[in-house]
Chains A and B, each alone.
Chain A
Amino acid sequence: MKKILLVDDEPWFTEGLAAALEARNYQCVRAADMTGGVKALQEHTIAALVTDIMMPPGSAFKSVESSESGFQFIEYVKEHWPRLPIVCLSVIADQAKIRFLMKRGVRYLRKGETPLSTAVEVITAVAEGRRVRVNT
C-alpha cells in the first residue's frame, strides 16, 4: 500500500482528504508541522507529499518563520528527497509565489476552491507517477 504524507497544522481540514485517500487503498501519514513532516519522511517510504504553507516549523526548525514555513519545508524536501512528488495545498493567492512553486515542480491546489474529488485525483495521480490532466 502506497503512503501519502499530509502535513497540515489544521488536522480537521485534511480529515476528509485522508478518509477519501484511505478509501482508495492509500495509507496516510500525518504531521502537523515541518519537524513532524521531516521525521515522517525519514521513517516512512512516501509516494507523495501534500503540504500546507502556513504552519508551525516545530522544534527542529525554530528559526523558521511560521507564516511561510511551507516554502522552507519544500526546499528542504527538494534537497533531501529530490525525486519525491509534492502537492502544495494552501490558501496563498500571491501569483508570484504560486509561479515559484510551479517552477520548482510543485503542484498547487488552492484550499476552498479545489473540490475534494479533484484533489484526490491529482494526489493519487502524482503518487502513481501519472501525468495529471485535471485543470486545477
Chain B
Amino acid sequence: MNIPPEPEHSSQGVEELQAEIATLKHELEESRKSTTQYLQNVAHQLTAPLNAIKWNIEAIKDEKIPIARKKNLLSSIYSQGTILVHLIKNFSLMSNLEADHELGQFRDQPDHVSPLRLAINLISDFRPQAAETGKKIEVRMYTFDQIFGEDSLLVEKNLIAQALSNLLENAIKYSHTGTTIYVEAITRTENGKVCLGISVINTGLPIQREELEKLQERGFRGNAAKQKIPAGTGIGLYLADKVMRLHHGWVIANAKGSETRMTLLFPPERAVSREAAR
C-alpha cells in the first residue's frame, strides 16, 4: 500500500497551532492574574469598612471615651455602613448587568421618580461620609425646578439611585478637603434632541483628556485617582454607564482643570408630566 506523502504545509500548520496555543496560554495566565488582583482588591474594599466598624464599636464600649466622642464614632459607623451597602449593591448590580438583562427583567419595573427627591434622599445618605473628610454636598434645587418642573422620570428607581450614588461617591473620594459638591439638573442637546440630566460637580483631582474616554471602562482608574486612593474597584462609572444605556441614556464626563462634572443624561421621552403619571 502506498502511503501518501505528508503535505508540505502540515509542519507549518503544527507550528502555527503551537504558537496559537502558547498565546492562548499566556492570555489565560494574564486573565487569572488580573482576576486574582481584582478579587484581592474587592476583598480589601469590603473588609476596610468592616474593620473600621469593629474598632469603632470597641471604642464605644471603652468607658474612658467621653459620650460626645462616641457620637462621632456612631456617625462614622453609619458612614461605613453606607459605604458597605453601596459596595455590595454595586457587585450585585454588576452580576445582573453583565448577564445582559433587559430593563424589564429586573425585579422592579420602571416607575415615576421625582429627580429632586431622589437627589435629596441620596445626598442625606452621603453627607456624613463627606463630612468625615471635610466636604459638603448641596443640591441646587432651583435647577431642578427650572429643568424638570413638575415632571418626573420614568426609570427603574433602584438602578438610577445606584448610578447617581456612584457619581456621588466618586465626587466625595476625589474632591479636595473643604470643597462643596453640587448636584444640579441640566439640559443638553444630543442627536438633535433636548435631553435632561442630573449632574454631580466637584473640585478635586484633575482628569486628563485621554482618561475621560476610558472612565466608563470596567476596572479603569485614572493615574491621579490611583495615587490619591490606592484601593478601588473601578466599576462605579462603568455600572452607571450600563444603567444609563438600559434607559437609552448616557453618562457624560466633563473635566476642566480641577472641576469635574459627571452627568446622567436621559432621553426626553423619559420625562413624564404629572398628569401623564396619573
Contacts and interface: CB of A to CB of B under 8 A. Distances in A.
A11 interface: yes
A44 B54 CA distance: 30
Interface of B: 44, 47-48, 50-52, 54-56, 58-59, 62, 64-66, 69-70, 72-73, 76, 79-80, 132-133, 226-231
17 contacts: A11-B132, A12-B79, A15-B73, A19-B65, A19-B69, A19-B72, A20-B59, A22-B69, A23-B66, A24-B64, A54-B230, A56-B230, A62-B227, A66-B230, A91-B48, A112-B51, A116-B58
A111 interface: yes
A13 B55 CA distance: 8
Given A19-B73, A23-B65, A54-B230, A116 B55 contact: yes
Interface residues of A, number: 27
B47 A91 contact: yes
Contacts of B76: 12, 15-16
B59 A116 contact: yes
Nearest to B52: A13
A67 B230 contact: yes
Contacts of A15: 52, 56, 59, 72-73, 76, 132
A119 B51 CA distance: 13
Contact of B52 (A16, A55, A119): A16
Contact of A112 (B47, B226, B229): B47
A30 B59 CA distance: 18
Nearest to A119: B55
